Amino acid sequence: MFSNIKDQKKAINSLKQLISAGKEAQSYLFYGPRGVGKLTTAFEFAKAVNCPNQNDYDGCDKCSSCIKIDHLTHPDIDFVFPTPKFDVTYEGEYKKENEQAQVQNFIKQLKSTPFNRYKFSKATSIQIDTIRRLERKILFKPAEGKNHIIIIAEADEMTRQAANAFLKTLEEPPYYAIIILTTTKFSSLLPTIISRCQKVRFNSIAPEVIEKHLIEGYNVDEAQAKIISRISNGDMAKAILMSKEQQIETREMALDFVDFIMNKDFEGIHNFSDNFVQNRNEELLRDIFDFLILWFGDLLYLSSNPSRIVNIDQKEKLQNFNQIRQLSNKEIQEIILLIEQSKNLLAGHINFELIVIDTFYHIYNRVYSV
């Protein structure tokens, strides 16, 4: 139900108003940061417009239609998401068992833990063949419900050919069709696609909302929930993952990085960088850099606005770091920009070890004015 979507009242109210007026658009673009409920809302909207027992312009979650949509088995719902370029028949069946298994694992994990997506073994995209199959399927009227719903997750991953082919479907969809695109990269979509959709913006989720959800929904300790809610930077999905997995350990690695700077520990940073010689874990290193960005952001708030500090359990270390040399706001912002640039270098870069060491020495030189 829409009540499952946290801190997106404006987006939900907009959708419910359209349903109540019977003026549902045929093409929507749900856009905003990662992990804030765009895809979940797409499925809840699909439930609402097809539910025979609609209550307050929302799905009932009890009827056959709602249950089938929850289980991704509804015949009138087509769900498209980026995959590697697998061998597929004209009808959309996967030719290789291992490739079919990967897609099934994605679906299985999406249903059981929507905040934690299955990782495919190769680069993903939405290919033109997938769009061609959608064009054929959309010609069939709904088998059970009022509407034929097409949900395309991460629509920005459509290839150029696929995006151009999809324009025709967006221009003249059948009267019974509703198309929902989701994206975290609004500017990566073709302007012609954006212009043909009713845009629904999703915002970052407030830390206090995330904190409450972690405590009530996942039994996270209150102090831990407070830290995670701030570190997750408005991303509910990331916050839930952090409460369940090794993200706290990743944060500790970022704090170790800070210690290497504070202690002038050159041997330590070189040992630390060895972690990435053989294990090219791009996601881990990105997360470490994200934590570092939050750390240096906290230095900006240390004296001016301490209530906004993310690493609230690390105030003493922040103060000690600040005593090395009180960096100006401009210098801190330059360090944050430097870390962002290091993150950008990760994509396709061979030597992660070198990126770690270079990032350390660039920060070190700024901190100690070398």
pLDDT tens for each residue of 308-360: 888 888 899 999 999 998 889 999 999 999 999 998 888 766 789 999 999 99
Look at the alpha carbons of 213, 217, 218, 221 in this order and tell me if their dihedral is positive or negative: positive
Per-residue pLDDT, 212 = 92
Q: In the predicted model, what is the mean pLDDT of residues 154-176?
A: 92
Per-residue pLDDT, 233 = 80
Q: In the predicted model, what is the mean pLDDT of residues 222-246?
A: 82
Per-residue pLDDT, 68 = 94
Per-residue pLDDT, 114 = 66
Q: What crossing angle do the helices spanning 247-262 and 236-244 adopt, rounded to 10°?
A: 90
Closest CA to 81 of 181, 160, 202: 181
Per-residue pLDDT, 279 = 63
Confidence of residue 245 (pLDDT cuts 50, 70, 90): low
Q: Token pair of 359, please?
A: 């990032």
CA distance 54 to 101: 35
Per-residue pLDDT, 313 = 85
Per-residue pLDDT, 223 = 77
The whole-model pTM stands at: 0.77
Q: Which residues are registered as beta bridge partners of 179?
A: 27, 150
Q: In the predicted model, what is the mean pLDDT of residues 220-244?
A: 84
Q: How does the average pLDDT of the chain come out, rounded? A: 88
Decide which of 1.20.272.10, 1.10.8.60, 3.40.50.1000, 3.40.50.300 is the CATH code for 246-367: 1.20.272.10
Per-residue pLDDT, 3 = 82
> Residue 280 pLDDT > 70, yes or no?
no
> Residue 235 pLDDT > 80, yes or no?
yes
Q: Over pLDDT 90: what percentage of the chain? A: 52
What are the residue boundaries of the structural domains of the chain, listed by start?
A: 2-82+125-201, 205-244, 246-367
Per-residue pLDDT, 370 = 63
Tens of pLDDT, residue by residue over 37-91, are 999 999 999 999 999 998 888 899 999 999 999 988 999 999 999 988 888 887 7
Q: Which residues are registered as beta bridge partners of 178?
A: 149
Let me know if the fold of 2-82+125-201 is the same as that of 246-367. Answer: no
Per-residue pLDDT, 19 = 87
Confidence of residue 113 (pLDDT cuts 50, 70, 90): low
Fold for the domain defined by 2-82+125-201: Rossmann fold (3.40.50)
Per-residue pLDDT, 251 = 86
Q: How many CB atoms lie within 10 A of CB 325?
A: 12
Tens of pLDDT, residue by residue over 197-231, are 999 999 999 999 999 999 998 888 887 888 888 87
Q: In the predicted model, what is the mean pLDDT of residues 160-188?
A: 92
Q: Over pLDDT 70: what percentage of the chain? A: 95
Q: Which residue has the higher pLDDT, 280 or 244?
A: 244
